[in-house]
Amino acid sequence: MTDLISPELAKNLNFLHPVLMWVLLGLAGYSMVLGIKAKKTRTASPEERKELIKGQFAKRHYLLSSLMLALMVLGTVGGMAVTYLNNGKLFVGPHLLVGLAMTCLIAIAAAMSPLMQQGNLVARKVHVGLNMTMMTLFLWQAVTGMQIVNKLLTSS
């Protein structure tokens, strides 16, 4: 399969997915902070709320999370594509399956947004639960992903 692209490019593409995922992990943490501040804004006293509204936490959380959804989908599919290009197959194992599950979780969590904007508390709790599950899996993925990167570095 590597005859589709140069061997050097194929080798370098191996590292695009891990770098993107580490950036996404950082963005996910920041998005979580923005979400917590958005909740604090919603539940604050009128005096506190006036000050917190200036931070536009809900808007920033929504925009950042929209970007994260797009990058997560592209990163997941891109990681699979690079693996296939380099090996002629996918390695179906925990890292791949958990990555696919995470992509589904973030998509479902994003789908809760219209309901949350209407004030649906159940949708808000589902959104938070799905994203906390995704963050936990993301931390595990970071460990297993670095193990894969280590294998790539030692085999080349």
CATH, residue 81 = 1.20.120.1770
> How many angstroms separate the Cα of 61 from the Cα of each of 27, 72, 113, 129?
10, 16, 11, 16
Instruction: Look up residue 109 and give its DSSP letter.
Output: H
Task: List Cβ neighbours of 152 (8 Å cut-off, separation of 6 or more).
Answer: 14, 15
* pLDDT range class, residue 156, cuts 50, 70, 90: low
Amino acid at 110: A
> Across the chain, what does the average pLDDT equal?
93
CA 105 – CA 30 distance, rounded (Å): 18
* pLDDT range class, residue 11, cuts 50, 70, 90: confident
Average confidence (pLDDT) over 124-137 = 98
Q: Which range marks the domain in which residue 35 is found?
A: 2-155
Question: Which pLDDT does position 9 carry in this prediction?
Answer: 79
**pLDDT, tens digit, for every residue of 67-117?**
999 999 999 999 999 899 888 899 999 999 999 999 999 999 999 999 999
Separation of CA 12 from chain center: 22
| Angle of helix 46-53 versus helix 16-43 axis, rounded to 10 | 150
Task: List Cβ neighbours of 113 (8 Å cut-off, separation of 6 or more).
Answer: 62, 127
* pLDDT range class, residue 6, cuts 50, 70, 90: confident
The domain tally of the chain equals 1
Question: Which pLDDT does position 86 carry in this prediction?
Answer: 84
Average confidence (pLDDT) over 36-40 = 97
Sign of the Cα pseudo-torsion (51, 53, 58, 64, in order)? negative
pTM: 0.88
Amino acid at 52: L
